[in-house]
């Protein structure tokens, strides 16, 4: 974090990444003095509602974040920033996205949790776009031009007002991570009761194990013994807000619809009280660790890994086989996970995996048969990327093995996009 006083004093001259959060109500024009070096500008968590036309003078600017401000329209000056690739305006008050506000090199656009009702047709004229997050808006339809987004890989349209399945998206050639729950077109009257309901007073939360966009996971203990349930449990308490992936209630229903599988976090019970939603799960043994790390700015949609982290091909083969089985289980229950990644996968020294994080999951049993097949095909691309990412960390001495080439061939094998997927 930097300070406005540092900026005004000239102390920040030559920096490439500037982050200012001081309840700013106006854009500090002193930022323009960094035009010859500045590539990343983060003005999130301020009180801004406009950007000056002079912003286009930042001729090296590639990334701009302005989440949690007071913008009501996506600034048109962004379209004049010719090197700008990544834009994040999450949790503002944006109602309008002008046609000329989208820069020509746009690759990553985050407009989650705003008030947008329509998007311009110019959105489909951004061929480099790879990542698009629109969850938590008021969209009733999407531009037909989005059918031209030939490089779009990750899309979040959950928690909107879309009345029809956006068919123009289902045949996009690279779309792999897709979340669309919480729209009228995929509403379901089905209430999943695969696990019992318990009151929140039946357990006590202990230490926090982790947290994400949709909730906080804690170790917990029962206040009274439950003879049919494990003694040690984990509880995910949902935040009850729209997240970057959609509504927590949709995540809970998708988890319950999937049911049990040896490589999934097992759901044990649920809490559904006024203002309090929680999922009780098996406590994952402490020796499990994350298989991967989330994407970075450069990789955009693809996982990253620790430096020098490698796996033998035997373990990669075992992990892939388990994930293939998880994939088939998910889609046999007509649930699209939406976030099939190594960073959502835990593994142990024997390469046993546990897959979780259903924040982007969507039930799709209500769609037409062809649409269901297309949704499965989309997630199958994510599975291929998962395999490809693991092959990238294969030990050097195994990269000439027959097993390596078999997996590589499986990952790259062509598939008829219109054919029903029955196996891998």
Binding site for ATP: which residues?
Answer: 236
Question: Distance (Å, rounded) from C-alpha 167 to C-alpha 185?
Answer: 12
Give every CB contact of residue 401 below 8 A, 6+ residues apart in sequence: 313
> Using H for helix, E for strand and C for coil, what is the string for 335-382?
EECCCCCHHHEEECCCCCEEECCCCCCEECCCCCHHHHHHHHHHHHHH
Identify whether the C-beta of residue 64 lies closer than 8 Å to the C-beta of residue 87.
Answer: yes
Annotated binding residues: 236
Q: How many helices (H) and strands (E) does the chain have?
A: 6, 18
Question: Distance (Å, rounded) from C-alpha 146 to C-alpha 379?
Answer: 19
Cα 363 to chain centroid distance, Å, stands at: 16
Closest to 384 (Cα-Cα) out of 325, 324, 330: 324
Write out the two tokens for 184. 């009228």
- Positive or negative, the Cα torsion across 384, 388, 389, 390? positive
């Amino acid at each position: 974090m930097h300070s406005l006083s540092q900026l005004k004093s000239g102390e920040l001259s030559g920096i490439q990444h500037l982050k200012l959060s001081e309840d700013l109500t106006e854009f500090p024009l002193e930022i323009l003095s960094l035009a010859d070096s500045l590539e990343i500008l983060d003005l999130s968590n301020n009180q801004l509602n406009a950007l000056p036309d002079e912003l286009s003078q930042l001729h090296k600017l590639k990334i701009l974040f302005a989440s949690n401000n007071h913008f009501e329209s996506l600034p048109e000056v962004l379209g004049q920033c010719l090197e700008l690739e990544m834009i994040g305006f999450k949790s503002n008050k944006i109602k309008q996205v002008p046609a000329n506000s989208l820069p020509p090199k746009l690759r990553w656009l985050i407009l989650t949790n705003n008030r947008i009702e329509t998007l311009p047709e110019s959105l489909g004229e951004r061929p480099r776009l790879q990542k698009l997050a629109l969850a938590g808006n008021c969209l009733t339809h999407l531009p037909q031009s989005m059918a031209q987004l030939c490089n779009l890989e990750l899309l979040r349209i959950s928690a909107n007002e879309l009345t029809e399945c956006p068919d123009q998206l289902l045949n996009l050639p690279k779309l792999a991570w897709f979340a669309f729950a919480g729209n009228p077109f995929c509403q379901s009257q089905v209430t999943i009761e695969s696990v019992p309901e318990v009151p929140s007073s039946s357990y006590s939360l202990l230490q926090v194990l982790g947290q994400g966009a949709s909730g906080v996971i804690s170790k917990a203990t029962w206040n009274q013994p439950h003879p049919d349930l494990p003694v040690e449990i984990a509880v995910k308490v949902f935040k009850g807000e729209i997240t970057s992936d959609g509504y927590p209630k949709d995540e809970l229903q998708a988890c319950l619809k999937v049911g049990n599988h040896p490589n999934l976090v097992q759901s044990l019970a649920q809490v559904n009280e006024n203002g309090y939603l929680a999922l009780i799960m098996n406590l994952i043994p402490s020796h499990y660790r994350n298989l991967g790390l989330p994407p970075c700015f450069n990789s955009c949609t693809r996982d990253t890994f620790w430096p020098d982290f490698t796996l033998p091909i035997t373990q990669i083969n075992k992990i892939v086989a388990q994930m293939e089985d998880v994939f088939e289980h998910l889609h046999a229950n007509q649930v699209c996970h939406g976030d099939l990644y190594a960073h959502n996968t835990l593994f142990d020294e024997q390469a046993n995996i546990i897959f979780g994080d259903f924040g982007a999951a969507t039930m799709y049993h209500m769609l037409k048969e062809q649409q269901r097949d297309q949704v499965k095909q989309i997630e199958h691309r994510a599975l291929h990327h998962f395999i490809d990412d693991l092959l990238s960390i294969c030990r050097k001495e195994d990269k000439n093995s027959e097993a390596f080439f078999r997996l590589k061939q499986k990952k790259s094998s062509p598939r008829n996009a219109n054919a029903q997927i029955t196996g891998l």
